[in-house]
Amino acid sequence: MEFARKVWKLLVAIKDGLALLLLLLFFMVLYAALTARPGAASVQEGALLLRLDGMIVEEPSIPDPVTQLLTREAPVGEYRARDVVRALRLAAKDDRIKAVVLDLSGFMGGGFVHLQDIGDALDEVRAAKKPVLAHATAYIDDGMLLAAHADEVWVDPNGGAFITGPGGNSLYFARLLDKLDVKANIYRVGTFKSAVEPWTRSGPSDESLRAYEGLWGAIWEEWKADFAKARPKAKLDRVTGDPVSWLKASGGDAAEAGKAAGLVDRIGSQTAFGQRVAEIVGENGADKAPGGFAHTSLFTWLDANKRDRAGKAIGVVTIAGEIVDGDAGPGLAGGDRIARLLDKALDRDFAALVVRVDSPGGSVIASEQIREAIDRHKAKGIPIVVSMANVAASGGYWVSTPASRIFAGPGTMTGSIGIFAILPTFDKAMANLGITGGGVKTTPLSGQPDVLTGLAPEISPMIQASIENGYGEFLDLVSASRGLSADKAHDWADGRPWSGGTARQLGLVDEFGGLDDALAYAAKQAKLNPGEWHPEFLGGGGDPFAALLGRFHSRESARGRVTGDLAGLAAARQHDLVQQAAIQVQRLFSAHGIQAYCLECPAVRPVALPPVRQSLETGLGSQLLRLMAN
């Protein structure tokens, strides 16, 4: 028996050794694949193929590699907007690129400002006398806006093109909470701070509706103007004014209806489209499959064209996604992570710092943590410039206040200067189940906040006082940064979100422009001439393992979620709405503390929110927040 046990141990050891060896070999091969960089020889003369299977974002998130190896569901592909813009601008000047091809069948959308930037870059390609061709199974607003900048827009015979416009309904949970005897205790400052309304009302308030109408109305006008400029002959009013009659006029054939309205130019399969591209750029010599054409992919093209790093460095820090406490991100703006990036760069000889913001806000504590880290760079005497992308509202505006100059687009959503907190209590629901509380208290705050058996009467006024104090701090930051009186700052605040165009008129934004404009302004303030500087993106290296997974999975993932007919698009929208509802419920029952968050502003991406970090500062307000987080 002893001999058998020894043999068994030997076999187990051999098995474990072989498994470890195979694992090491796997990671060695993987490392070799990740570190191998394509050179100029990898670029094939022909088309630049942008197969955008996923979303355009400011900062791609990093999926957990272990989860991605084990899960059966591929992550949504994410493409950095500035990478796509740079690829197109390089293509416009490189003789090896004869055309640009947009494959949008798996495209899941992006922010309006990002789409405008990419559209401008596509126009540069066309101005260089290089054709741009687009194909998709079906187009909806975001994909249609990109395709509008193409010389030829193709759609699959079984697909179509639809324009829905921005806006839509939000969910309101007040009646459900009443039925469950759950009370959402709301603390806020700002008449227009409507992020709390889903828990207190059965529909939007008049103030919220006014904010929505002004915001989405301005964005819609910008969208239509951009589309009409790119595709002036399209009959947009017919498509959006009476969509039923428009579709019926083509016998219900959405592809033909899109062509009749000038949204698309030609109807054809992916193979037919590929054959058309091959007529322009040549066939793919390595692949004789039907519909193949000579091309270079986005990632190969970017890898073969490294950024110029000559001259002085201008630092760029990205604040993208919801602002949360802790180390979250990229893709989420974790206060600890971003402050650490900034502090590690304090000893760098940056000529200036550009803060790129694409965030609807979030945690007040994390927003202030990031703002203080930016201020430490400002104390060095270098120019601080903010570039707002799609959204820079609430906490996103909070972190923008150190800037001497703020750039935004007319379609940027900003403002929403107000704060709130939500604390649900369950004493009535617990009593209905026969559960009550009792005990000894040494002070009115003993055991508080008690969300299960009820709040002491002192708690709510104390939290509201903390909210009002935080709002006062927010107003002070805005008035000092923008050179406004406290009264004027309050007039433009009060929790109301603004479009970039209105924000510029109010003085909350200084100038229209994108990231390149902000960088050029920062360089000028630092007394640097063109060619004497380069941008250096803090924490922008990314995770090569996650990038490899994204390249493997993104196409399958996106194309499994996007379908061409109207019913399929409705199903995809239903999935998104259910996901958003789940996030809203999570927001109520998760601990976040005081928030500077914009409900009207679209989330950069749906996210699962992390808990409030444990290392909160001392003080009564912070102690209350800590109790709320437990």
Annotate 198-233 with three-state secondary structure.
HHCCCCCCHHHHHHHHHHHHHHHHHHHHHHHHHCCC
DSSP 8-state symbol, 37: -
Contact 386, 518 (CB under 8 A): yes
DSSP assignment of 447-482: T-S-TTT---TTHHHHHHHHHHHHHHHHHHHHHHHH
**CB-based contacts of 143: which residues, under 8 Å, 6+ apart?**
104, 107, 109, 136
**CB-based contacts of 630: which residues, under 8 Å, 6+ apart?**
591
Q: How, if at all, do strands 132-139 and 183-189 pair?
A: unpaired
Alpha-carbon dihedral 601, 180, 608, 621, rounded to 10 degrees: 80
How far apart CA 298 and CA 84 sit, in angstroms, is 8
DSSP lists the bridge partners of residue 183 as 425
How far apart CA 456 and CA 445 sit, in angstroms, is 7
Residues annotated catalytic, as ranges = 193, 394
**CB-based contacts of 153: which residues, under 8 Å, 6+ apart?**
134, 139, 147, 263, 264, 265, 266
How far apart CA 581 and CA 99 sit, in angstroms, is 42
Contact 360, 503 (CB under 8 A): no
Tokens of 94: 């490189």
Place of tokens 């194909």: 135
Place of tokens 């990419």: 118
- Other C-beta atoms closer than 10 Å to the C-beta of 93 total 11
Tokens of 227: 């589309």
Tokens of 125: 């390609």
Q: How, if at all, do strands 595-597 and 361-363 pair?
A: antiparallel
